[in-house]
Amino acid sequence: MNKLANLQPLFEGKATRTHGYGIIAGPCSAESAEQLLETAVALAAMGVGVFRAGVWKPRSRPGCFEGAGSEALQWLKEVKRRTGMAVTVEVGTPEHLRQAVEAGVDGVWIGARTVTNPFDMAAIADALSQLSGQCKDNLSVMVKNPVVPDLDLWAGAVERCYDAGIRRLGLIHRGFGYCAPGTYRNPPVWRVPIELKRLYPSLPLYCDPSHIGGNSRLVQPLAHQAIAMGFDGIMVEVHPQPASALSDASQQLTPDQFEQLLGTISPRLNNDQSAQQQLNDLRTEIDRLDAQLLEILAKRMTVARQIGKYKQQLGLPVVQPERYRQLIASLSSIGEAAGIDASFLQNLYRQIHEESVRQQSKQ
Ligand code: PEP
Ligand code: MN
């Protein structure tokens, strides 16, 4: 698989400049020139370097606000001129891309619904490949996950953009829309973005807690969790009056709420040498302990096989429920004293016991 070599920083590093992790913020939709400027000025004052706003909105049901359209690109130009922020919009068709690039946007994102359809993705990738060399070098392209948790669809969309010559590439995890109703609007299914990051470690992975949560109360904990897990950044919806927003009213934060959120996530410091050294030492210690654990486990299996021979000699069955019950009970009390979670220990010993039984049965 193409390993996406030679990636360049998204937005020339503007997203990560102030906090170490990337920050992109702005309203779900561009509604008016005033709404955009008011939001952007507040965000720029917090040091946010990249502004988002949807101009063409892919709404699932007809009759919803479908965006202000091309006119809003001029409002974004003004945001860029007045605040110096990089600006980014969603594109869903080659024509959107053409207009956005012509208006001088710094980046585009490709939404979940578009990424779900390989025909749409191929058409956008084709339009990307036709941009001039300089446009391609400067344009940041972020690919949201598809609506369904299909890793290949997501990876394929990114690879299409890369093959079109785009090097400022990133991922946005916005949750998956297929699940039964529950806490989240779009459940995160974290293993999917984590697996994609394993395949493409150098590809920046952002979390969009607004679309995952669907509710402003969930945005902070989700953003916090994502950064703690190692995501490279967040994209958050911010609106001056969320309650009267024309789209996604329930999940947008006010600029003040967003500033509070940033205050709860510690900046990423990359230059703390002594913490780095301690981390390395502890990892060496963990590797040493793991080697000891495995050695002890191997010895335990050898003893278990010997026990199996005596059981055979004595005509005893391999599985001895009473002995197993005692083992779990005594381990649980040792574990409790050592501060190890009881259900974790039980699961662990269920696996070890199962393997002992398997080995004894095959003698
Ligand atoms: C958005 O970012 O406003 C949007 C429509 O997102 P998604 O494609 O994740 O639904
Ligand atoms: Mn939205």
- 171-227 pLDDT, tens digit per residue, is 999 999 966 678 999 999 999 999 999 999 999 999 999 999 999 999 999 999 999
The protein residues having their C-beta less than 5 angstroms from ligand 2 (an ion) are: 28, 248
* Closest residue by CA, ligand 1 atom 4: 111
- Looking at residue 49, what is its pLDDT? 97
**Ligand approaching nearest to the C-alpha of 247:** 2
**Ligand approaching nearest to the C-alpha of 146:** 1
* Closest residue by CA, ligand 1 atom 1: 28
* Closest residue by CA, ligand 1 atom 10: 112
**Ligand approaching nearest to the C-alpha of 185:** 1
Whether residue 85 contacts residue 116, with contact meaning beta carbons closer than 8 Å, is answered with: no
* Closest residue by CA, ligand 1 atom 8: 111
Burial 223-262 (b: 16+ CB within 10 A, else e): bbebbeeebbbbbbbbbbebeebbbbeebbbbbeebbebb
What is the pLDDT of the chain when averaged over all its residues? 94
Which of 37-41, 108-112, 252-256, 314-318 bottoms out in mean pLDDT, i.e. has the lowest?
A: 314-318
* Nearest atom of ligand 1 to the alpha carbon of 28: 3
> Percentage of the chain surpassing pLDDT 70?
98
> Percentage of the chain surpassing pLDDT 90?
81
Q: Where are the alpha helices (DSSP H) in the chain?
A: 33-45, 71-83, 94-102, 112-115, 118-129, 133-138, 151-163, 191-199, 209-213, 216-229, 255-264, 273-314, 321-337, 342-361
Which of 78-82, 285-289, 294-298, 349-353 bottoms out in mean pLDDT, i.e. has the lowest?
A: 349-353
- Looking at residue 179, what is its pLDDT? 67
**How far does residue 45's CA lie from ligand 1's centre (Å)?**
25
Asked if pLDDT for residue 2 goes beyond 60, the answer is: no
Single out the residue of 131, 123, 43, 65 nearest to residue 91, CA to CA: 123
**Ligand approaching nearest to the C-alpha of 210:** 2
- Looking at residue 328, what is its pLDDT? 87
Express each pLDDT in 34-69 by its tens digit: 999 999 999 999 999 999 999 999 888 888 899 999
Residue ranges lining ligand 1, Cβ < 6 Å? 28, 54, 58, 90, 111-112, 144, 174, 211
Single out the residue of 208, 215, 166 nearest to residue 188, CA to CA: 208
Q: Tokens 């429920």 sit at which residue?
A: 321
What separation in angstroms does the CA of 51 have from each of 20, 67, 176, 228? Answer: 17, 17, 24, 23
Q: For a substitution probing ligand 1, which of 56, 61, 90, 253 has the most ligand atoms within 8 Å of its CB?
A: 90
Per-residue pLDDT, averaged over 339-347, amounts to 89
Express each pLDDT in 269-307 by its tens digit: 766 778 888 889 999 999 999 999 999 999 999 999 999
Express each pLDDT in 141-154 by its tens digit: 999 999 999 999 99
- Looking at residue 160, what is its pLDDT? 97
Question: How far out from the chain centre does Cα 183 lie?
Answer: 18
**How far does residue 52's CA lie from ligand 1's centre (Å)?**
11
* Nearest atom of ligand 1 to the alpha carbon of 113: 8
Pairing of strands 233-237, 86-90: unpaired
* Nearest atom of ligand 1 to the alpha carbon of 235: 2
Whether residue 80 contacts residue 88, with contact meaning beta carbons closer than 8 Å, is answered with: no
**How far does residue 216's CA lie from ligand 2's centre (Å)?**
12
**How far does residue 63's CA lie from ligand 2's centre (Å)?**
16
Per-residue pLDDT, averaged over 5-14, amounts to 94
